[in-house]
């Protein structure tokens, strides 16, 4: 038993941070300036992000990006359409696209489906492993805040990099 306790103690003390859940939602549009110190820019594919006209790169550094990637010409992934999503949009639902970090397998998709699918506000959803996005349609008249989405993603075991809504979510 002493040996086991010793091994456990060594393992625990060798971990720099236990259960580091302090990452913030990385809504790249509204909070980039505010949260840039908390973001891991290496993990984020800026080339695929639409930073929006209000985003100013002159005020901070992106040391790992080259100048070409820093030009926000590429559009972010739009909502993935499925029969359910198309029908929900036709019923007046609001489209939301969430860029999700760490989504690499079907278990990730299952977790997101289970957690978000339980919410009454959500009328349709789809996890796209190719785009690394969660496409949602929020029921007409209902709301699902960015904070709600962040918390639900956390319950599923994941983190979000950006949230796009309405025309932007549709690729407009």
Work out whether 156 is an interface residue with another protein (CB under 8 A): yes
Decide: residue 152, CB within 10 A, 0-12 exposed, 13-18 middle, 19+ buried: buried
Separation between Cα atoms, residue 105 and residue 33, nearest integer Å: 32
Going by C-beta distance under 8 Å and a sequence separation of 6 or more, which residues neighbour residue 110? Answer: none
Q: How far is the CB of 85 from another protein (least distance, A)?
A: 13
Q: How many CB atoms lie within 10 A of CB 108?
A: 19
Q: How far is the CB of 139 from another protein (least distance, A)?
A: 22
Work out whether 120 is an interface residue with another protein (CB under 8 A): no
Site size toward another protein, by CB under 8 A: 44
Nearer of residues 132 and 164 to another protein, judged by Cβ: 132
Q: Which of 11, 13, 22, 143 binds another protein (CB under 8 A)?
A: 11
Work out whether 45 is an interface residue with another protein (CB under 8 A): yes
Work out whether 19 is an interface residue with another protein (CB under 8 A): yes
Q: What is the DSSP letter of 25?
A: P
Contact 166, 94 (CB under 8 A): yes
17: its two tokens? 């941070």
Interface ranges with another protein (CB under 8 A) = 1, 3-4, 7-8, 11-12, 15-21, 23, 43-45, 101-111, 114-115, 126-130, 132, 154-159, 161
């Amino acid at each position: 038993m002493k040996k086991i306790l010793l091994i456990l103690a060594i393992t625990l003390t060798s971990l720099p941070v236990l259960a580091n859940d302090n990452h913030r939602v990385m809504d790249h549009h509204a909070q980039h300036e505010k949260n840039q110190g908390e973001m891991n820019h290496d993990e984020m594919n800026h080339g695929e992000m639409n930073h929006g006209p209000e985003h100013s790169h002159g005020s901070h550094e992106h040391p790992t990006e080259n100048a070409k990637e820093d030009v926000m010409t590429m559009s972010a992934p739009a909502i993935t359409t499925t029969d359910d999503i198309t029908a929900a949009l036709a019923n007046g639902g609001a489209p939301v696209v969430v860029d999700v970090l760490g989504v690499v397998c079907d278990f990730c998709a299952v977790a997101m489906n289970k957690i978000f699918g339980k919410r009454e506000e959500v009328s349709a959803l789809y996890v796209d492993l190719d785009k690394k996005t969660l496409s949602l349609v929020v029921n007409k008249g209902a709301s699902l805040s960015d904070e709600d989405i962040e918390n639900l993603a956390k319950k599923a075991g994941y983190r979000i990099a950006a949230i796009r809504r309405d025309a932007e979510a549709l690729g407009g």
